[in-house]
Structure 1
Amino acid sequence: MASSDHYFYVLQCADNTLYAGYTTDPIRRLAQHNNGTGAKYTRLLKRHPMRMIHLEHFSEKSPAMQAEYAFKQLSKPQKLRYLTEHSSEWLPK
């Protein structure tokens, strides 16, 4: 049986870069990124620790992955604007 919880998320890394991804378990996935078993991009120690600054819930996988893909196509200024407009947790530095 497929999960009805699908998420598009954005992490802010310690080096102030952003990482976007898809998951069915945000807490587990953030832990994986921070312990070095997540995506290759987040395995570099200079990117640790990471914090989740944006999370969107979807009931189906496809829209969550489409949101992730669309976000990754944006320029950095566009990503920051998206986060400012869509996330109450996003606090620009």
Structure 2
Amino acid sequence: MKLVLPDCVLAVLPPLPQLRADWAVYLLYCTNGAFYCGITNRPLQRWQLHCAGKGARYTRMYPPLRMRLVCQNINKAAAARCEYRLKRLKAADKAVLWQLLEDFLT
């Protein structure tokens, strides 16, 4: 069975990096059922900060349950562009993307 990605998901994925490539875009599934998106060059440490209540203000109010990486090994500019596009997706489109990704941390 061939997997066909929706256009909304394809638009989020950045082109192959040309510069330093140590950044990642992550998606968190929070306790309120919503998704939180961010970028980092240290996914494990960022997850720990969010879980400890020392991450973003949003994740202090709604702690994360799971983390999945959308893109990794990209440069910071590409990560920021990907994050911007991902944040503009509708919740239903983020849910489709979430189903296509593997768990990074739970």
Query: Could you tell me which residue of structure 2 aligns to residue 39 of structure 1?
Result: 56
Residues 59-68 or 21-30, more deviating: 59-68
Q: Which runs of 5+ in 2 are unaligned?
A: 1-19
Distance (Å, rounded) in 1 between the aligned partners of 2:41 and 2:51 = 17
* Percent identity of equivalent pairs: 31
**Offset at residue 82 of structure 1 (A):** 2.4
Query: Could you tell me which residue of structure 2 aligns to residue 21 of structure 1?
Result: 38
Higher relative contact order (Cα pairs below 8 Å, separated by 6+ residues) = 2
Q: Say whether residues 1:54 and 2:64 are aligned partners.
A: no
Alpha-carbon RMSD across the aligned residues, in angstroms, is: 2.2
Distance (Å, rounded) in 2 between the aligned partners of 1:49 and 1:66 = 23
Q: Which has the higher helix share?
A: 1
TM-score (norm 1): 0.79
Paired residue secondary structure (2:72): strand
> Rg bigger for which structure?
2
AA paired with 2:102? Answer: S
Paired residue secondary structure (2:58): helix
TM-score (norm 2): 0.70
Q: Which runs of 5+ in 1 are unaligned?
A: none
Number of aligned residue pairs: give it. 86
